[in-house]
Amino acid sequence: MPILLSRDNLKKIITVTDAIQAVEEGFRHYKGDHCDVPVRKEMRLDENQGIFLFMPAFMKPGNVFGTKIVSVFPNNLQRGLSTIQGVYMLNDPTTGELLALMDGIFLTSLRTGAASAIATKYLARKDAAMLGIVGSGGQAAFQAAAICKVRPIREIYVYDTNSQNAREFSETASRDLKLPVTAVDSVHEAVASADILVTATTAKEPVLDGNDVKPGTHINAVGYQGPTSRELDTITVKKARIIVDTYEGCMTEAGDLLVPIQQGELSKDDIYADLGEIICGHKKGRIDDAEITLFESVGFALEDLVTASAAYQKARETGVGLEFKLD
C-alpha cells in the first residue's frame, strides 16, 4: 500500500547528511551509465508568471523510478507562499505501482542544498570559512546547513532585497547553526568577504558585480532564472572555472551561461566539467587556492529520485507516513 509523506514526516526521517550521501552516490551511478534521466519538460504560464517542471528519473541500482512535478511562481512571495510548489511520486519500476507521494518543496530544497554541499566539498578551498548568501528565501537555510557539513564555516553574511527577510533568516540560522549570521545592507558586503558564495534568487538581471568576487572564491549559483535571465554577470562567469550539474540541463535552462554565450562573451567549450565527472575523478576539482570556481545548478531529476528513495526507505524502516488507497 502506498504511503503519504508530509513535510513534517520528511523532516523527521531524512537529514542533510543523508541527502548529501544519496545525491553524491546518485551522481556516481549517473556517470556509470546506470540511469535514465530525460531533460525536464517545462510548461510556462506567462499570464501568471509561473512555470511547471516535469522531472522523471530511473536508476538501475536499487531499481527506483520517480517523477517530480514542481512549479516556480516568483510572485508567491507577495502572497505569503513559497516560490516553489511541488509533489514527488515514487513508483515501483517493475510493476508501475505507486509507492509514495511526498512533499516536493522540502525534497527540492534538501537535494539542492545537498548538491551545493557536494560541489563545495570538491571545489572550495579546504580552509574556506566565510559564507556569503545572496537571497534569503526558503533555499537559503538548506544551503547554509548543507555547506556547514563540508567546510568549517565560522561566519555567514546574507543579503536580500527584502531586509526584513534577511534579518529573520539571520536570527534563525544563527540559532540553528550556532554561529554568527549577519544580515548586511549590500550585495557587496555579502560577496567581497566570501570564501564560498551562494546566489539563491529569482532575479532576472545580475545581482552582483563580478569585480567583488575575490580570488579563491567558490560560487554555488542555484537560483532559478530560465534561459533568458540570470543572477550572475558576465564578469563572474568569465573569471570562473565552470562546473555544471548536467550539460544538457544547463545548455537548456542556465541563463547565467546562455546569455553570455548568446552575446559572444562565452563559449560552450568554456564549461570545464559536470559535477559527476569531478566526483568520479574523471576531471580534477580545485586546481589551486587562487582560482574562482562556479557550480551552476539548474536542478537534476536524479537528485530528487535518490533523495526521495532514501526518505522512502527510512519511512518504511520507522513506520512514518500515512498509508492510503486510491482504488
Residues with a catalytic annotation lie at 68
- Strand pairing partners for 101? 4, 89
Cα-based distances in Å from 270 to 35, 74, 163, 235, 236: 26, 30, 36, 14, 13
Q: What pairing do the DSSP bridges indicate for beta strands 271-274 and 240-244?
A: parallel
Nine cell digits for residue 324? 492510503
Buried b (16+ CB within 10 A) or exposed e, 228-264: ebbbbbbbbbebbbbbbbbebbbbebbbbbbbbbeee
15 close to 318: Cβ distance less than 8 angstroms: no
Convert 84-137 into a string of H (helix), E (strand) and C (coil).
Answer: EEEEEEEECCCCCCEEEEEEHHHHHHHHHHHHHHHHHHHHCCCCCCEEEEECCC
Q: Give the list of residues 6+ apart from residue 77 with CB closer than 8 angstroms, or none.
A: 83, 137
Cα-based distances in Å from 3 to 94, 177, 320: 18, 32, 9
- Residue from 89, 32, 87 nearest 61 by CA: 32
CA distance 146 to 320: 24
Cα-based distances in Å from 78 to 23, 50, 158: 32, 14, 21
110 close to 135: Cβ distance less than 8 angstroms: no
User: Three-state SS for 221?
Assistant: strand
